[in-house]
Structures are given as structure tokens and as C-alpha cells.
Structure 1
Amino acid sequence: MKIYTKQQLALRNGQDKPEIWVAYQGVIYDVSSSRLWKKGMHYEHWAGQDLTEELPDAPHTEKVFEKFQAIGQLA
């Protein structure tokens, strides 16, 4: 899997580039196809960042990432 920096991930926020990516536990997922991530925002969470620390507060588990393609690793 390709390795991306935090800066490269940050550009995939739904604003700067058309891709909408998030990271969880070092894996980067493409959430562009999700209607819940349109415009790079999902409730109070922004795309282009590592959501590992924020997931415990979510109403769902990490299984939600199984719906999305893992496209890389966070450096």
C-alpha cells in the first residue's frame, strides 16, 4: 500500500482536491462515495485527518470502515 504523509492526507478534505479521505489506526480510507461525507464533513468531523482519537465518541464502531476502500497508510 502506498504511504501518505499527514500533509497529503490533509489535501484530501473534499475542498482542495476531489478525493475525500480519512485515516483510522494508520490506514487511509477513501470515503468519497459516502453521502455522509459530502463536502468533506461528517457531523463535527472533517475529512483529511486521522480520526483514530475521535472514534470512541462516535455512535458506531470501527466496522464502519469496512464499507470503504483502504487506499494507503499514514506515515
Structure 2
Amino acid sequence: MEEITVEKTFTLKELAHYNGQDGAPAYIAVDGVVYDVSQRSAWKNGQHHGYKAGNDFSEQIKRAPHEKSVLPRLPKVGKLIN
């Protein structure tokens, strides 16, 4: 029998709860994919260069020096939906 994996979905409102504050994990979304940045030292306390976890960074990442090159190293935790 084939195992079925259910992907977690997040609305922007739900994603906002994952801001890396008060023990919450730090998640970000890029191009509809939600990533866990909790273990990245660059995202200490859910903040990175003035940006706060719990948000969609699809546009902002285009202006980052690393662009999307860091994304493959991050655990995917779900999908952002409207």
C-alpha cells in the first residue's frame, strides 16, 4: 500500500504565528513554499536584517545578495495558500 503524505497548508494569518518569538518556530514563505528557518543563526529570534519571520518574502528575496540560493538548504514545512 502506498503511503500518502499530507502537506501542511498555511494562510498568511496562520503563518504570522510562526514568528520565532516566545518559543514559536520561525517560518518564512517564498513562492508559495513555507520554510523553517528556526535553526538558522541568521534568523535568531525570528529576525534577519530587519525582516521578521512569519511573513511571505517572495519579493524581498529577489533583492537579497544570496537571492534564492539559500532555499534548498532549508527544511520545507508546507505550502502558503490564499
Structure 1-normalised TM-score?
0.92
Query: What secondary structure is seen at the aligned counterpart in 1 of 2:45?
Result: helix
Aligned to 2:80: 74
Give 1:42's aligned residue.
48
**RMSD over equivalenced CA pairs, Å:** 1.1
Whether 2:81 is the aligned partner of 1:51: answer: no
Task: Give the equivalent residue in structure 2 for 1:7.
Answer: 13
- Could you tell me which amino acid in structure 2 is paired with residue 47 of structure 1? A
Larger Rg: 2
- Deviation at 1:25? 0.1
Q: Which runs of 5+ in 1 are unaligned?
A: none
**Normalised by the size of structure 2, how large is the TM-score?**
0.85
CA distance, structure 1, for counterparts of residue 21 and residue 52 of structure 2: 10
> What is the aligned length?
75
Task: For residue 78 of structure 2, give the secondary structure of its aligned residue in structure 1.
Answer: strand
1:20 equivalenced with 2:26 (yes/no): yes
Aligned partner letter, 2:26: I
Identity in percent = 39
Q: What amino acid sits opposite 1:20 in the alignment?
A: A
Q: 1:43, 1:31 → 2: CA distance? A: 14
